[in-house]
Structure 1
Amino acid sequence: MPHSQIPLTVASASIARDAAARLLDAARAACRDIGIDATVAITDAGGHLKALDRSDGAAFLTVDVAIDKAWTAASFGLGTHLWNGIVQDPVVAPLAHRPRLVAVGGGCAIVHDGRVVGGIGISGGNALQDQQAAEAALRAVGFEVAGTRTA
């Protein structure tokens, strides 16, 4: 391919601010329905924080954990509940030492039209409760729920 025909950029998609706000509200409602005090973090497709809410009863450590769950989910488009199984493979086990990688449930990729546009992370309940709240919020707003298989 001649130099002049090589694409120099690629189009990318990322969650819009208003959609992040709606997702945050849906996640807060899902946490309330499950009965957990939690922090909800939403990142854009690049893993940068887009929205955050910590309920009054959530422990302060849940803030960093929720952000890192969202970052982890956005990074490869996989739910964080899958990472525990992934890092057991000796070939990729060193990834477990990445400072922000979280290998417990509660982080989901935000997927729209088959493309990862961000990540949502919830921390405050147990791993299954956090995952269920994240998935419920995604469905409530109309996003796809990707990577729901268990490892």
Structure 2
Amino acid sequence: MADVTLEQARNIVAAALSKGRDLGLKPLTVVVLDSGGHMRAVEREDGAAPGRIEIAGGKAYGAVMLGMGGRAQMERAEAQAYFIAAANGALGGRMVPVPGGVLVKDGERVIGAVGISGDASDQDEAAALAGIEAAGLAAQP
């Protein structure tokens, strides 16, 4: 498989939003990108602030462009802030290096990324993981 398909992206979004409702999370925005960082699907729940699209997109973009999920990026930023600052500059300031950006994998191959914003970053990540798992794919936070 070359990239996350539209059907998989839609399934990820639906399952992630469902998980958010099950957990009682604040309104979420879910962005699914392909392996080149291009948008495959996006949904912003009623009540979610409009800026959440860019935040969720930044979480996913950083994950797919660096090949590491948002949790790993945050840990790297804590250990080597200069690296994440430089990478974010090189990527046009589009990264949001916190949990909630999760790589989507088919086996060992990265086929895309999911970014979620709306609640606490750990909760956003939980919804992303649930969405990816529901689509039958592997996740790397």
TM-score (ref. length: structure 2): 0.88
Q: Is the 8 A contact 1:77 1:108 kept in 2?
A: no
CA distance in structure 2 between the partners assigned to 1:105 and 1:20 by the alignment: 19
Pick one of 101, 108, 132 that aligns with 1:107. 101
Structure 1 position 123, deviation (Å): 0.2
| Deviation of the 1:42 alpha carbon | 0.3
Moved more, 111-120 or 95-104: 95-104
Aligned length: 136
For 2:116 and 2:82, how far apart are their aligned partners in 1? 28
CA contact (8 A) 1:80 1:106 kept: yes
Larger RCO: 1 or 2 (CA < 8 Å, sep 6+): 2
- Structure 2 match to 1:75: 65
Question: Does structure 2 retain, via aligned residues, the 8 Å contact 1:23–1:137?
Answer: yes
User: Can you give the 5+ residue segments of structure 2 that lack an aligned partner in the other structure?
Assistant: none
Shift of 1:86: 1.3
Cα distance change, pair 91–68 in 1 and its aligned pair in 2 (3 A): closer
1:90 positional shift: 5.7
| 2:40 equivalent among 46, 50, 74 | 50
Per-residue deviation, 1:139:
1.2
Residue 127 of structure 2, aligned match among 126, 133, 145: 133
The separation in 2 between residues aligned to 1:49 and 1:20, in whole angstroms, is: 10
CA contact (8 A) 2:99 2:125 kept: yes
Alignment partner, residue 30 of structure 1? 19
Look up the match of 2:55.
65
Deviations, residues 54-105 of structure 1 (Å, cap 9, x unaligned): 0001111111101111111111332112212213326624224451111111
User: If the length of structure 1 is used for normalisation, what is the TM-score?
Assistant: 0.83
Who is 1:15 aligned against? 4
Question: d(CA) in 2 for partners of 1:51 and 1:140?
Answer: 16
**Structure 2 counterpart of 1:65, one-letter code:** I
Q: Which has the larger Rg?
A: 1
For the 8 Å contact 2:74–2:99, the answer to whether it is kept is: no
Aligned residue in 1 for 2:137: 143
Residue by residue over 1:4-62, the C-alpha shift from the partner in whole angstroms, topping out at 9 and shown as x without a partner, is: xxxxxxxx811111111111111111111122211000001100011000000111111
**Structure 1: gaps (5+ residues):** 1-11
Aligned alpha-carbon RMSD (Å): 1.7
Give distance in 2, aligned partners of 1:79 and 1:121.
10
Amino acid in structure 2 at the alignment position of 1:104: V
Q: State the AA in 1 paired with 2:42.
A: L
